[in-house]
Amino acid sequence: MPTPGFRRRSYVPFFFEVIASAVARLLYRVRQGGTEFFPRTGGVLLIANHLSYVDPVVLQLACPRPIRFVGYKGLQENRFFEWVFRLSGSIPISRGSPTEGMRRAIRALQAGEVVAIFPEGHISRTGQLMPIMRGFEVVARKAGVPVLPAFIDGVWGSVFSFADNKYLWKSPRLMPTPVFVQFGAPVPPAEASPLLARKILMDLGAMAFDQRPVLRRHLGRECVQALAKHPGRVAVVDRTGPSRAVKAGQLLATSAALSRHLRRTIPEQRVGIVLPPGAGAFVANLAVVCAGKIPVNLNFTAGRAALEASMKLGRVSTVISAEAVRQKVPAFPWPERTLDLKKEIDAMGGKKAIFPWLVAAWVLPNQVCASLLGLPHVGDRAEAGLLFTSGSSGEPKGVALSHRNILANCAQISSLSILPKWSSLLGCLPIFHSFGFTVTLWYPLIRGCKVITVPSPLDTRRIIDAIRDEKATVLLGAPTFIRPILRKAQPGELRSLELVVTGAEKLPDDLYKAFLETFHLEILQGYGLTETTPASNINQPHPPITTSTAEPQVGKKAGSTGRLLPGMTVRIVDPETGAEVAPGEQGIVWFKGANVFGGYLDDPQKTQGAFRDGWFVTGDLGRLDDEGFLFIEGRLSRFSKIGGEMIPHGTVEQKIAEAFQLDQTDGPAVAVMGVPDKAKGEALVLLTTVPISCGQLRDKLLGAGLANLWVPRIVHLVDKIPVLGTGKLDLKRCRDVALAAAP
């Protein structure tokens, strides 16, 4: 509703305004925030993001004053849009000759009107904020009026947006779409600029996204309702042994029955799970959540000391596993109460206990199934899962993820067209890894994607066979796990793949080029951390052009980790001063968003160190370009300061691998570490699995154009470079080896 005291007159004839408003309110439930920033009188230049054809209507419903919109003149070639322009009093502007349109906008502003411009210049077809065009700031300065930013959240996915790579031709939603419009503080005309506008709009976008009703819901309830909605669809194809298709109804029924059993027999709040990707891991995690408990997926590839510390920190005394897993990892510190998943299902009554829930999934409305389980409607900021950081640079830390965190990240991924519900995901990432936990477990359960599971990301031949046999369309993994596929797969075996996404570590150029040349598939790089649940950035294919007035849009950029997911905002700050750096300059990456965790488990000191003024400090060095693409340069802990210069270990490793043409298919062959040095503060140590002399190393690197400071002074031959179960370097063990090798 308009704020009291504001003049509420429209430029549209009253009769048509009533009809348009009624239709809009049937389709959308519009709320707004920040209307106190809106000037009550005088000219105001309103700028907003542009996600759909309905944005002007939504913006007017949220705005306390009538708006005159500036629109692309080419739309007037269409009779409908020509009628809309004329009826609404919109100001047409030509991209080739914008002067006349700008003059009309300036006159309207000087007359005290509210004029709205979408500074992206066109509707986003990626679901992300596009580059901000110049021009709006000139209009504001010449008119002498403030610029008022606004962000529209929630319209992506509706029939008027480009979700699923098409306008209009989508099934309309049965319930009104929740939309939130967040207004920001006015910017003086002298300070307005495209760079400032992008930063403010990203901040407002995070605030608006945080108002989504779905974020307050309960993870278990969302999954149960999604599974019960289409009980006959195949949810999981388990290839742990012989290929076995598990339908949504079966998955729901087994998890529901098991959840009742766990609720009766396990008194603790957190339950450990030690299972590889597969139907069993899906059932165990969903059953634990539906039992009102917290799943703790434990990294069974970690060392015994790290696992014992993790279980002690998480107060985990009961673990759900399988006999086959116990035989494969006998060194795991199995607690006295270790439950076998299959035996627990038999103990609860087996098929007799499952059958009533299977009938309920097919017969009852999906909301009723969730209510029968006693699942609450609200989960919000309560803990929904506990993961542990990889421990690559120290002792593992407990990352408590809330219902809001997980649901937010699922909604963010769903807000793009990159993983639609008809995707078939190859799920080989371990569930104890945040990528596997959210993207290949919870996201498919909620979104309805099919998951084809393979127990280990290292089982390359089985992964290739699964892609070929099950016609997987999406492959997700770290470059370490993707590289062996390049060597072992035939091009025809990956024919069904439409998308390959990597994260967890930097995508090497040689892997990108070789994969593209061999399989005609472009690997898209993403970025995230356990603390961001995990996805924060993603490159995506350039969106198609489907209308005569649309212009090409960029969804990816070589070397980058992509634009931020919707609902996130970022700062790049100087690691020493904490001041924000200019676009294109390197600094520490800070994040805000609903998917950012609330803090480390029972560790207020580390939590305090991870946040600055409400921003999560990632510890990664990166830079942001003026189009919103984030480039990650490396981890701050993976830099050495020698002679006043910051030297990135990862870059030196890459140059060594290229200079010596090292084969790293089966794991890293080199690792560069920094150790204390009395003369220069730090010295570089090269750990290598192949014999390399200091003289050879120096000649090769200097010949490749590296500075003398970048050449490691110590070379230490090792049998194997220490790595974690996720494929990343085990920095703690690498550093211990380097310290022992240093004089």
pLDDT digits (tens, 9 = 90+) for 61-75: 888 888 888 876 544
Q: How far apart are CA 512 and CA 504, in angstroms?
A: 15
- Burial class of residue 330 in the structure, from the number of CB atoms within 10 Å of its CB (0-12 exposed, 13-18 middle, 19+ buried): exposed
Instruction: Give the model's pLDDT for residue 206.
Output: 96
The pLDDT of residue 161 is above 60? yes
- Per-residue pLDDT, averaged over 253-269, amounts to 95
Tell how many helices (H) and how many strands (E) occur in the chain.
Answer: 24, 32
Name the average pLDDT for the chain: 86
The pLDDT of residue 85 is above 60? no
Q: How far apart are CA 545 and CA 477, in angstroms?
A: 29
C-beta neighbour count of 304 within 10 angstroms = 10
Instruction: Give the model's pLDDT for residue 674.
Output: 85
How is residue 91 written in tokens?
A: 């100001």
The pLDDT of residue 380 is above 80? yes
Answer for the pair 55, 48: CB distance below 8 angstroms, yes or no. yes
- Per-residue pLDDT, averaged over 103-132, amounts to 89
Instruction: Give the model's pLDDT for residue 216.
Output: 96
Instruction: Give the model's pLDDT for residue 736.
Output: 83
- Per-residue pLDDT, averaged over 653-681, amounts to 81
The pLDDT of residue 194 is above 80? yes
Instruction: Give the model's pLDDT for residue 1.
Output: 40
Answer for the pair 294, 383: CB distance below 8 angstroms, yes or no. yes
Q: Which of 225-229, 585-589, 607-611 has the highest mean pLDDT?
A: 225-229
Q: How far apart are CA 722 and CA 727, in angstroms?
A: 10
pLDDT-based confidence at residue 481 (cuts at 50, 70, 90):
confident
Q: Give how far Cα 205 sits from Cα of 63, 158, 674, 717, Å.
A: 17, 18, 40, 50
φ, ψ dihedrals at 537, nearest 5°: -140, 155
What is the CB-side half-sphere exposure of residue 737 using CA atoms within 13 A? 24
The pLDDT of residue 614 is above 60? yes
Q: Mean pLDDT lowest for which of 107-111, 196-200, 449-453, 638-642? A: 638-642
Considering only CA atoms, which of 413, 444, 534, 417 is closest in space to residue 223?
A: 444
Q: Which of 132-141, 286-295, 717-726 has the highest mean pLDDT?
A: 286-295
Instruction: Give the model's pLDDT for residue 637.
Output: 66
pLDDT-based confidence at residue 5 (cuts at 50, 70, 90):
very low
Structural element, H or E, at residue 356: helix 351-363
Instruction: Give the model's pLDDT for residue 638.
Output: 73
- Per-residue pLDDT, averaged over 483-505, amounts to 88
What share of the chain has pLDDT > 70, as a percent? 88
- Per-residue pLDDT, averaged over 175-185, amounts to 91
pLDDT digits (tens, 9 = 90+) for 320-336: 999 999 999 988 999 99
pLDDT digits (tens, 9 = 90+) for 535-578: 999 999 888 776 666 678 888 998 899 999 999 999 999 877 88
Q: Tell which wins on pLDDT, 697 or 570.
A: 570
pLDDT digits (tens, 9 = 90+) for 316-374: 999 999 999 999 998 899 999 999 999 999 999 889 999 999 999 999 999 999 999 99
- Name the strands in the sheet holding 474-477, side by side, starting at the edge strand that comes first in the sequence: 244-247, 234-238, 450-453, 424-427, 474-477, 499-502, 523-528, 535-538, 563-564
What is the CB-side half-sphere exposure of residue 205 using CA atoms within 13 A? 27
Answer for the pair 75, 121: CB distance below 8 angstroms, yes or no. no
- Burial class of residue 103 in the structure, from the number of CB atoms within 10 Å of its CB (0-12 exposed, 13-18 middle, 19+ buried): middle
Instruction: Give the model's pLDDT for residue 240.
Output: 86
- Per-residue pLDDT, averaged over 726-739, amounts to 78
Q: Mean pLDDT lowest for which of 301-315, 455-469, 597-611, 628-642? A: 628-642
- Partners of 103 in the beta sheet? none
pLDDT-based confidence at residue 511 (cuts at 50, 70, 90):
confident
Answer for the pair 184, 148: CB distance below 8 angstroms, yes or no. yes
How is residue 149 written in tokens?
A: 């930013």
Instruction: Give the model's pLDDT for residue 61.
Output: 87
Instruction: Give the model's pLDDT for residue 212.
Output: 95
Complete domains list, the chain, with CATH: 14-211 (3.40.1130.10), 212-404+416-433 (3.40.50.980), 565-642 (2.30.38.10), 643-741 (3.30.300.30)
Instruction: Give the model's pLDDT for residue 680.
Output: 67
Read off the pTM.
Answer: 0.85
Q: Tell which wins on pLDDT, 45 or 155.
A: 45
Answer for the pair 552, 122: CB distance below 8 angstroms, yes or no. no
